Structure 1
Amino acid sequence: MNTELWVRKDDLSATRLRDAGDTRLADGQIRARIDSFALTANNITYAAFGEAMNYWQFFPTGEEGWGTIPVWGFATVTHSLHPGVAVGELLYGYFPMASAVVLTPERLSPERFTDGAEHRAALPAVYNQYFRSKLDPLYTAGTEDIQALLRPLFITSWLIDDFFADNGFFGADPGVALLSSASSKTAYGTAFQLAQRDGIEVVGLTSAANKAFCESLGCYDRVLAYEELDQLAADTPCVYIDFAGNGTLRRAIHTRFANLKHSASIGGTHVDQLAASGAGKDLPGPRATLFFAPAQIKKRTTEWGAQDFGQRMVQAWQAFTAKVTDPRAPWLRAEHHDGAAAVQAAYAAVRSGRGDPRSGHILSLSRGG
């Protein structure tokens, strides 16, 4: 039996558990038990932009109005009708919030394969790849929780940093990078990368309650509460990297900073304000532009080659995780939520933005609560 968590597309607070029978495998398919997956604000962003950016299309429910949010995690192959994939293989990749998944492996290599399901063919290739942990260069045994929580977010962080460097910070170098929702994992991953660049002051914007946490990370040059924008000079050359999706904050930044060079929208941790976080044609300064990680991946793999791209990413990932897991001052601890009821409760908490920023949520519908 496969348990799935469905979410109402027009009301992300509404969820529903569905017990589905095991789909009969066709030749060339595999079934994998989804052992665990991370749930972060990034996944809520997938849901919030589900229609506009086709996130609902990866794992369609077949029922109008209901969707399955994609998540990142680990799964073990339990049945295989594909000669190139063995039962017992551990996979990392993009899964539904469910206890199992059926995949159609294509383009196999020792390190990875692509899901060849017809409905995913036109979707961004980066989300259709499954990494075979035995030879995955980013995999380290015993750290699956950290990988599930941070790997997809950090890759986005690394690409954001690279995008701004690639564009000369749009003329704000030297200058300031303003990061909203500074306590979020994608924000502090980006700050970790930006802090290694000369000429860029990294300023985290957060709630007053999370200010001390952000300061403790050591990757921000300055941390300001949202109401403290006036502590930065209005003529400061700056770029804005918006992880919050808070339309009121975006307007305040565009209005205050006359020398704002670029405004990038990354996601929406403030889900209830996403309606106000659109491109903002009426805002002063540059138009807010949605950052799309797959586009930067495609650009850099073309310019650098896939091997060089991968090596650079591995080096950055290893440096970041060493810092995050430093036993003297770890940035993150994993909290496990096993079973249907626990998964529903954890989803509600993450969607509402509640919780300790040091906590990362690892969920499982294949393990009982």
Structure 2
Amino acid sequence: MQQFQIAKDQFSKTRIVDCLSTPLDDGEVRVKVEAFSFTANNITYALVADMFGYWKFFPPISADGNIWGVLPVWGFACVTESRCSKVAVGERIFGYFPPATELVMAPAHINALRWVDNVVHRQALPAGYNQYRRIDAAVVNDPRSEDERMLLFPLHITSYCLFDRLQTAEYFSAEQIIIVSASSKTSIGLAYGVRGDVAAPELIGLTSARNQDLVTALGCYDGVLTYDAITAIDSSKATAIVDMSGNGELMAALHRHLGDNMRQTISVGFTHWEQGAKLPGFIEERSEMFFAPGYIQGRSKDIGVDEFERRSTDYMQDTVAKSRSWLKISNIEGLAGLREIFADVCNGKIAADAGLIVRL
């Protein structure tokens, strides 16, 4: 088997490691990873890996695990070998995988629609990442939508959670919402939801000059400004910010511009991770770090798992359908192809409307 790894202290440094497949124990299955998406969200996993445990999901197949790590990805896999009586060879699943050619898993809590990977080292990790959808048993199984599912479902579930957070907080009584890094797919998924709520305040997208035309053409923002034009934002209005960029310099400048009218900032992703340090002027006491798995767990307790799944699924089906008009799928061949484009993803050089699918 092969596994794609990155250096934990230098994300631009990557390698592909080969090793022999290990025999299965009773209850285990081996899956072949067929394809997975790769976006800036995966780089966010690396940035917060130590804080939220992302390095722990898929240990590197090497002795130097303190130096090298494996970034989780979302994709599809097929069972090629099984010693679990309830999981047959040939079954396909969707979920969280390593960027690797195969994975040994321990199915548990198996029902008609899903099962959980109960391998020992994952049992203490967020439960939502350990669940796998059984594709052959899915109520709706449209192979044409699999690329969209890999690319957008993992992002738009965060979009939904952010929308739910804003909505339940009554938008923090803001008169305007600013989404920073408005071209990111998670931002767009959020913007679709906010724009569809008649009770929502004005929505402004901040983006780079390179992406301004694309973001404007989406039609989901009331206004689109470039990063160097934040002084054009009306600072007299109460404002809530959703920051997908992690750009410390920009956020500090935005907070200084808005002053007391900056009601709340929700920090989510790190599309500009290399500029992530907080600088003077950043208002920490009215800022929060958003962790979608924790939010999902909390809201599922509040309204019930089934209700949360119904609401989030309806939301994502709508936002994914709206994204079809602009999303352009690009196929990347194998782990070697991922290694070739990895630096461009890290450095934000991938076009905002591009969707990368790595096929193995």
TM (normalized to structure 1)?
0.93
**Contact kept? 1:33, 1:100, Cα under 8 Å:** yes
Structure 1 counterpart of 2:270, one-letter code: G
Structure-1 separation of matches of 2:75 and 2:200: 36
Structure-2 separation of matches of 1:211 and 1:256: 21
- Partner of 1:31, secondary structure, is strand
- Partner of 1:84, secondary structure, is coil
* Pair 1:236 & 2:237 matched: yes
**TM-aligned CA distance change 1:260 to 1:285, over 3 Å:** farther
**Contact kept? 1:33, 1:75, Cα under 8 Å:** yes
**Contact kept? 2:156, 2:190, Cα under 8 Å:** yes
Residue 344 of structure 2 aligns with which residue?
Answer: 349
Residue 104 of structure 2 aligns with which residue?
Answer: 102
* Number of residue pairs matched by the alignment: 355
Structure 1 counterpart of 2:169, one-letter code: N
Give the superposition deviation at 1:286: 3.8
Give the superposition deviation at 1:308: 1.5
**TM-aligned CA distance change 1:286 to 1:176, over 3 Å:** farther
Residues 37-74 of structure 1, C-alpha deviations (whole Å, 9 max, x = no match)? 00000000001111121100100115221000000011
Give the superposition deviation at 1:138: 6.6
Residue 12 of structure 1 aligns with which residue?
Answer: 11
- Partner of 2:246, secondary structure, is coil
- Partner of 2:143, secondary structure, is coil
Structure 1 counterpart of 2:188, one-letter code: Y
**TM-aligned CA distance change 1:38 to 1:194, over 3 Å:** same
Residue 192 of structure 2 aligns with which residue?
Answer: 192
* Pair 1:333 & 2:328 matched: yes
Residue 52 of structure 1 aligns with which residue?
Answer: 51
**Contact kept? 2:38, 2:73, Cα under 8 Å:** yes
Residue 303 of structure 1 aligns with which residue?
Answer: 302
* Pair 1:292 & 2:308 matched: no
Structure-2 separation of matches of 1:261 and 1:140: 43
Structure-2 separation of matches of 1:24 and 1:313: 39
- Partner of 2:14, secondary structure, is strand
Structure-2 separation of matches of 1:199 and 1:119: 42
Structure-1 separation of matches of 2:121 and 2:247: 33
**Contact kept? 2:177, 2:204, Cα under 8 Å:** yes
Superposition RMSD in Å: 1.5
- Partner of 1:123, secondary structure, is coil
Alignment of 1:239-254 (within 5 A): 239-254=240-255
- Partner of 1:60, secondary structure, is coil
**TM-aligned CA distance change 1:232 to 1:313, over 3 Å:** same
- Residues 283-292 or 56-65, more deviating: 283-292
Structure-1 separation of matches of 2:239 and 2:311: 27
Residue 38 of structure 2 aligns with which residue?
Answer: 39
Structure-2 separation of matches of 1:146 and 1:67: 27
Matched residues, percent identical? 37
**Contact kept? 2:156, 2:316, Cα under 8 Å:** yes
Structure-2 separation of matches of 1:141 and 1:188: 24
Give the superposition deviation at 1:300: 1.9
- Partner of 2:49, secondary structure, is coil
Structure-2 separation of matches of 1:252 and 1:281: 9
**Contact kept? 1:31, 1:77, Cα under 8 Å:** yes
Structure 2 counterpart of 1:308, one-letter code: E
Structure-2 separation of matches of 1:229 and 1:270: 17
Give the superposition deviation at 1:299: 2.2
Residues 303-351 of structure 1, C-alpha deviations (whole Å, 9 max, x = no match)? 22111211112211221122112xxxx1201101112321101222211
**Contact kept? 1:30, 1:80, Cα under 8 Å:** yes
TM (normalized to structure 2)?
0.95
Residue 211 of structure 2 aligns with which residue?
Answer: 210
Structure-1 separation of matches of 2:88 and 2:214: 44
Residues 105-126 of structure 1, C-alpha deviations (whole Å, 9 max, x = no match)? 1111111111101111111111
Structure-1 separation of matches of 2:85 and 2:100: 25
Residue 81 of structure 1 aligns with which residue?
Answer: 83
- Partner of 1:257, secondary structure, is helix
- Runs of 5+ in structure 2 lacking a partner? none
Structure-1 separation of matches of 2:221 and 2:84: 48
Residues 166-207 of structure 1, C-alpha deviations (whole Å, 9 max, x = no match)? 1222221xx111111111101111111111122311111000
Structure-1 separation of matches of 2:169 and 2:357: 36
Residue 167 of structure 1 aligns with which residue?
Answer: 169
